Amino acid sequence: MKNTAILFFLFSIIATGFIFQSCVDEQPSYIAFDAYEYASLDANGGSWHPKLLSSGSQIGIPAPYDITSAEYQAELAALKAASAQLTGEQEEAVKYWGGDGLIRWNEIARELAAKYNLAPSPDSAGNYPAPNSADPGKYPLFPFAHPPYSCRAFAYWAATEYDALISTWYHKYNFNRPAPYTTDATIVTHLPKNNLPSYPADGAVIAAVSKAALTALFPLEKDFLAAKALEHENSLMWAGLNVQSDITAGDSLGRAVWNVVKVRAGSDGLKNAQTPRPKSDSIRDDAQARLGWHWENKETPPRPVGITPLFGKVKLWNVPDVITVRPDTPPAPGSPAFEVAANELKDISDNLTTDQRRIANFWSDGLGTYTPPGHWNRFASDLIVEHKLNPLRAARVLAYLNMAMADAGISCWDAKYFYHYPRPIQAIPGFKTILGTPNFPSYTSGHSTFSYAGATVLSHFFPDETGKLTAYAQEASESRIYAGIHYRFDVEAGKQQGISVGNFSVDVARADGGE
């Protein structure tokens, strides 16, 4: 009996510790940070050159009520009531959105990329159905947010935010309506104050652009995005930052900017990127005739078409054309240079270290994740918070980063299908990997191209971080060799391609007035 009692006693102690641990260890679904005072306000930001609008003044908004007007006084009173006392939920929303909310929307875009990054399953007859944008809810769901889809999605979201915020800054300083808390010091605020003019509300512009752009890109998320945008806009009043007319004007400005940008999105060539099989076969046969080799999908059953064979024809953002950044022909399979690369892969695979496995997994960014461009958006978000950038300056970073990574994707895909190079599992007999081999040709490495383009652009904006960012890009690139899905020459060509692509975006940034 005594022994049994001791057993129970020990058990209850250990169990209590365990339960305690599992309660406190709820894993975070977003990256928490404290709202900050902006490092600069960029009062001349309205004069910077947008990417797709002609200027910050292209889209007009109605002049605001004068702050002495009865209408404005009524709005002030409503704001004062809204922010005086918050419910727990409102407090949480204010803290989550942190005012402008740009970083949160970037995080939401990443989450949607991850959620939709699943390849179609074969049906019982062994055929692969394809997502259909006209019927997005029918399996396989639209979109399949693979790296090409996602890099383009991030670019449209970020470029639209940037243009919309240049317009916002233009109108803010044009109308110069002081912040409500400047006009009435008794308004309770729950976030850091700043000296930005408040009309239109930058947070509302950001919410409206995000809702419109992301709904177009992820149509099944319409309701989710509408609820998020509504909460974000409401949080601006709960926080005591903006009156209703600031928010209304911001919302309509954001929507108007997306309406300009969406014309480009509808005609940039993505629609044709996922080709029917005959076209895909002819691209393969052309490569075989030209080069003497071609890539094959090695899945069971084989997928008849690789991911977006014509993504290389999608409209570029800042690179003049893909030929400019297309690398030289890779070594032919079976050539001495190929054998060196193949032997390196076999050697690594046979002697994989713990560290190499960790690196391969850390940077895998494969199916069900936010893809390599998502990973670089995460780094950018961290740096933006660390450097306390205002939303205009933050959007500038995200816009050039994501335009460069979309250009990297387009250029890389051009090389992939132009060279149609076999993957290691196809070209090395008996070779196996520790990550799934993606459904597109090998040369050049997407991870390397995306990562070096990303590191190049972010290093321009955050020169002190160059060492760290370059190390990230290098590790991300090497990770594909450790995983067994790329040859070293894929990675090296991708690196050069990524740097060249990134520099085109840096050149545009240098000339946009925001340096």
117 neighbors 367 (Cβ within 8 angstroms): yes
Q: How far is the CB of 440 from other proteins (least distance, A)?
A: 15
Tell me the DSSP string of 232-272. HHHHHHHTT---HHHHHHHHHHHHHHHHHHHHHHHTSSGGG
Q: For the range 262-270, what are the long-range contacts, defined as Cβ-Cβ under 8 Å and sequence gap of 24 or more?
A: 262/212, 262/213, 262/216, 264/52, 264/315, 265/156, 265/216, 267/315, 268/152, 268/314, 268/315, 269/310, 269/313, 269/314, 269/315, 270/149, 270/152, 270/311, 270/314
Whose structure tokens read 């947070």? 203
Structure tokens of 470?
């370059």
| Closer residue to other proteins (CB): 192 or 436 | 436
Structure tokens of 15?
């169990």
Figure out which of the listed residues 235, 349, 448, 505 binds other proteins, where binding follows CB under 8 A.
349
| Closer residue to other proteins (CB): 23 or 134 | 23
Question: Considering CB under 8 A, how many residues would be counted as binding other proteins?
Answer: 58
E strand or H helix that includes residue 505: helix 488-510
Q: Which stretch binds other proteins (CB under 8 A): 114-122, 130-138, 257-265, 503-511?
A: 114-122
| Closer residue to other proteins (CB): 8 or 63 | 8
Gap between the Cα atoms of 400 and 442, Å rounded: 26
DSSP letter, residue 45: G
Q: Which stretch binds other proteins (CB under 8 A): 91-99, 175-183, 205-213, 352-360?
A: 352-360
Gap between the Cα atoms of 172 and 187, Å rounded: 21
| Closer residue to other proteins (CB): 113 or 455 | 113
441 neighbors 353 (Cβ within 8 angstroms): no
Q: Is 27 near other proteins (CB under 8 A)?
A: yes
What angle do the packed helices 202-217 and 244-266 form, to 10 degrees?
A: 30
Q: Is 87 near other proteins (CB under 8 A)?
A: no
Figure out which of the listed residues 42, 100, 107, 233 binds other proteins, where binding follows CB under 8 A.
107
Q: Is 24 near other proteins (CB under 8 A)?
A: no
For residue 308, give Cα distances in angstroms to 283, 414, 416: 12, 10, 10
Taking residues 369 to 398 in sequence order and writing x for each that binds other proteins by CB under 8 A, - otherwise, the string is xx----x--x--------------------
- Chain positions 441 to 500 lying near other proteins, rule: CB under 8 A, are 484
Figure out which of the listed residues 81, 339, 343, 362 binds other proteins, where binding follows CB under 8 A.
362
| Residue 334 C-beta-side C-alpha neighbours within 13 Å | 3
Q: Which stretch binds other proteins (CB under 8 A): 97-105, 108-116, 145-153, 467-475?
A: 108-116
Figure out which of the listed residues 44, 139, 292, 304 binds other proteins, where binding follows CB under 8 A.
139
- Taking phi first (over 0 means left), then psi (-120 to 50 degrees means alpha), and beta for anything else, what does residue 10 get? alpha
For residue 66, give Cα distances in angstroms to 232, 308, 376: 25, 53, 43
- Chain positions 36 to 55 lying near other proteins, rule: CB under 8 A, are none
Q: How far is the CB of 12 from other proteins (least distance, A)?
A: 10
By C-alpha distance, which of 515, 391, 380, 458 is closest to 36?
A: 391
Residues 185, 187, 192, 198, CA torsion sign: negative
Q: How far is the CB of 143 from other proteins (least distance, A)?
A: 15
Residue 47: count other Cβ atoms within 10 Å of its Cβ: 16
Q: Is 367 near other proteins (CB under 8 A)?
A: yes
Q: Is 18 near other proteins (CB under 8 A)?
A: yes
Q: Which stretch binds other proteins (CB under 8 A): 2-10, 168-176, 259-267, 305-313?
A: 2-10
DSSP letter, residue 219: G
Q: Is 20 near other proteins (CB under 8 A)?
A: no
Q: Is 26 near other proteins (CB under 8 A)?
A: yes
Figure out which of the listed residues 30, 40, 74, 290 binds other proteins, where binding follows CB under 8 A.
30
Taking residues 193 to 232 in sequence order and writing x for each that binds other proteins by CB under 8 A, - otherwise, the string is ----------------------------------------
| Closer residue to other proteins (CB): 85 or 127 | 127
| Closer residue to other proteins (CB): 352 or 506 | 352
Figure out which of the listed residues 115, 222, 315, 468 binds other proteins, where binding follows CB under 8 A.
115
Q: Is 7 near other proteins (CB under 8 A)?
A: yes
Taking residues 408 to 447 in sequence order and writing x for each that binds other proteins by CB under 8 A, - otherwise, the string is -----------------x-----xxxxxxx----------
Q: Is 291 near other proteins (CB under 8 A)?
A: no
| Closer residue to other proteins (CB): 264 or 357 | 357
By C-alpha distance, which of 464, 467, 480 is closest to 364?
A: 480
| Closer residue to other proteins (CB): 445 or 479 | 479
**Residues counted in the chain:** 515
Q: For residue 27, count CB atoms less than 10 angstroms from its CB and return exposed for 0-12, middle for 13-18, buried for 19 or more.
A: exposed
Gap between the Cα atoms of 276 and 269, Å rounded: 15
Figure out which of the listed residues 35, 41, 93, 118 binds other proteins, where binding follows CB under 8 A.
118
Q: Is 185 near other proteins (CB under 8 A)?
A: no
For residue 155, give Cα distances in angstroms to 160, 345, 455, 515: 8, 34, 16, 20
Figure out which of the listed residues 33, 36, 111, 470 binds other proteins, where binding follows CB under 8 A.
111
**By the criterion CB under 8 A, which residues form the site for other proteins?**
1, 3-4, 7-8, 10-11, 14-15, 18-19, 21-22, 25-31, 107, 110-111, 114-115, 118-122, 139-140, 298-301, 349, 354, 357-358, 361-362, 364, 367-370, 375, 378, 425, 431-437, 484
